């Protein structure tokens, strides 16, 4: 991949265009390399006493010097200059090794001596070796082994999407991008679970979806109401403080709230004025009274399953601001479980990048990658993958890797 402009950068096969037919005299850098070359060639022919047939042909050219390739090739040959295919070499879509056997032997030697957790990267190295071969069975086999030995969520998401992309089109008829294929290796839900377990990669997946007798999905009933006003063991004696947000007062237990993070503990039990107050004014912290009630409930239950997505997003912001790591990871996992199509992915990806939510961004990327190549027609997806600013944001969350852009280059090269 010559550039990150996926839609344009992967269409051509040349480093530059010697004679770009779309170039005009008034645009770009003075007409391009081809026009400048022909202008110098004409100047040389004018002062050369040996008028050739090729010179007379160039005399009749219009001012923009646009010529057909055969004429240019003949002119180049007359003066001993290289042909167009040498001046503009084609870029190979994959590596082609001169000493193939030695490279492959070295890769297998590394595999024998490497730790288990590093095998996925070495299998990817073998993928790069086999990608240049006409038969793609070895490439797909190494890709499968790389997914089987993947440890982190990012690698699992990338490799599962790549395996799905390399399937035959007839194997994907009647299924959506996020449909489960029945195996853990390509299951979208299993890819979001971190851990190393190569033996279970080919096992049937256990998606948390229960099918009824009619074949329609039935979800287990929630043990809680979907309301932030619900409380467990609602004993007034347990509450010893209030967070005041606007005209609302949210009653809380000081010890439970302090257990959420060290900043909360310092505020409620340290040397700050809030440690001596029964009522703490919290209006300027960009959280609603509903969100604060959810935070209080989380301090007792460690669960966000009963909250609306908008409330969970508020909790995620609060968790980032006050370094509540457990709350952040719980909100991150819950929001990631809600991403199941392009609409939800496009809606939540910005929240994930802004709040550095690792699993949420992984779930959104998974949708985009499993929808390839069609998702690349969306300008927002193009901007996410192709701009330098987006690359920095992905890197900040931990999702900008060689594996990601290697996969995108495969898609761009067809």
Task: Specify the pLDDT at position 193.
Answer: 87
Mark whether 291 and 346 lie in a shared domain: no
Task: Specify the pLDDT at position 257.
Answer: 93
Task: Specify the pLDDT at position 20.
Answer: 44
385 alpha carbon, distance to own chain's centre? 7
List the structure tokens of 386. Answer: 């192709």
Task: Specify the pLDDT at position 84.
Answer: 55
Number of domains in the chain: 4
Phi, psi of 370 (to 5 degrees): -75, -15
Mark whether 34 and 68 lie in a shared domain: yes
Mark whether 186 and 135 lie in a shared domain: yes
Mark whether 147 and 179 lie in a shared domain: yes
CA atoms of 341 and 375, how far apart (whole Å): 11
Using the CB atoms, write b or e for 48-82: b if 16+ within 10 Å. eeeeeebbeebeeeeeebbbeeeebeebbeeeeee
Final residue belonging to a domain, choices 257, 289, 308: 308
DSSP string over 149-212: T--SHHHHHHHHHHHHHTS-GGGGTT--TT---SBGGG-TTGGGS----GGGTTSBP--S-EE-
Task: Specify the pLDDT at position 136.
Answer: 82
Q: Is residue 139 part of a domain?
A: yes
Going from the C-alpha of 36 to that of each of 39, 41, 43, 66, the distances in angstroms are 5, 9, 11, 11
Q: Is residue 257 part of a domain?
A: yes
Mark whether 127 and 106 lie in a shared domain: yes
Q: Is residue 320 part of a domain?
A: no
Angle at alpha carbon of residue 379, lines to 159 and 388, rounded to 5°: 70
Q: Is residue 141 part of a domain?
A: yes
DSSP string over 336-384: HHT--SHHHHHHHHHHHHHTT-HHHHHHHHHHHHHTTTGGGGSHHHHHH
Mark whether 107 and 211 lie in a shared domain: yes
**Longest C-alpha distance within the chain, in Å?**
108
Residue (of 277, 270, 260, 264) closest to 327 by Cα position: 260
Task: Specify the pLDDT at position 338.
Answer: 93
pTM above 0.95, yes or no: no
Task: Specify the pLDDT at position 44.
Answer: 58
Q: Is residue 326 part of a domain?
A: no
Mark whether 201 and 251 lie in a shared domain: no
Task: Specify the pLDDT at position 367.
Answer: 94
The helix or strand, by DSSP H or E, that contains position 32, with its residue range, turns out to be: helix 32-47
Residues of the chain falling short of pLDDT 70: 1-93, 168-175, 177, 181, 201, 207-237, 413-414
Q: Is residue 225 part of a domain?
A: no
Mark whether 364 and 290 lie in a shared domain: no
Mark whether 351 and 251 lie in a shared domain: no
Mark whether 174 and 199 lie in a shared domain: yes
- Owner of token pair 């050369």: 48
Task: Specify the pLDDT at position 91.
Answer: 66
260: domain CATH number?
A: 3.30.710.10
Phi, psi of 366 (to 5 degrees): -60, -40
Mark whether 214 and 252 lie in a shared domain: no
Q: Is residue 330 part of a domain?
A: no
Q: Is residue 393 part of a domain?
A: yes
Range of 149's domain?
100-218
Mark whether 203 and 243 lie in a shared domain: no
């Amino acid at each position: 991949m010559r550039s990150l402009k996926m839609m344009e950068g992967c269409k051509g096969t040349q480093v530059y265009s010697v004679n770009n037919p779309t170039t005009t005299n008034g645009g770009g850098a003075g007409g391009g390399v081809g026009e400048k070359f022909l202008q110098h060639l004409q100047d040389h022919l004018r002062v050369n006493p040996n008028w050739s047939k090729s010179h007379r042909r160039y005399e009749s050219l219009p001012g923009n010097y646009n010529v057909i390739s055969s004429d240019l090739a003949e002119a180049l040959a007359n003066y001993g200059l290289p042909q167009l295919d040498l001046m503009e070499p084609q870029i190979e879509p994959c590596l082609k090794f001169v000493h193939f056997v030695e490279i492959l032997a070295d890769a297998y030697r590394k595999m024998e001596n490497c730790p288990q957790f590093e095998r996925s990267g070495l299998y990817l190295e073998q993928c790069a070796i086999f990608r240049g071969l006409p038969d793609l069975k070895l490439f797909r086999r190494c890709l499968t082994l790389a997914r089987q030995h993947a440890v982190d969520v990012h690698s699992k998401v990338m490799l599962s999407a790549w395996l799905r992309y390399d399937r035959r089109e007839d194997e994907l008829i009647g299924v959506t991008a996020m449909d489960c294929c029945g195996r853990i290796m390509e299951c979208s839900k299993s890819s979001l679970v971190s851990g190393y377990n190569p033996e279970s990669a080919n096992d049937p997946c256990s998606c948390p979806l229960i099918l009824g007798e009619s074949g329609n999905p039935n979800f287990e009933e929630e043990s809680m109401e979907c309301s932030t006003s619900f409380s467990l063991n609602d004993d007034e004696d347990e509450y010893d403080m209030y967070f005041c947000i606007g005209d609302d007062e949210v009653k809380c237990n000081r010890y439970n709230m302090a257990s959420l993070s060290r900043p909360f503990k310092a505020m409620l039990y340290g040397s700050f004025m809030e440690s001596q107050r029964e009522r703490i004014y919290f209006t300027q912290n960009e959280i609603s009274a509903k969100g604060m009630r959810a935070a209080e409930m989380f301090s007792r239950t460690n669960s966000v399953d009963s909250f609306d997505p908008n409330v969970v997003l508020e909790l995620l912001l609060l968790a980032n601001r006050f370094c509540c790591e457990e709350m952040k990871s719980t909100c991150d996992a819950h929001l990631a479980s809600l991403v199941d199509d392009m609409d939800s992915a496009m809606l939540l990806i910005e929240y994930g990048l802004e709040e550095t939510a690792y699993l949420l961004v992984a779930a959104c990327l998974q949708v985009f990658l499993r929808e390839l190549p069609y998702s690349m027609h969306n300008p927002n997806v193009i901007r996410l993958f192709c701009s330098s600013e987006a690359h920095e944001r992905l890197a900040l969350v931990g999702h900008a890797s060689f594996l990601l852009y290697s996969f995108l280059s495969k898609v761009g090269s067809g």
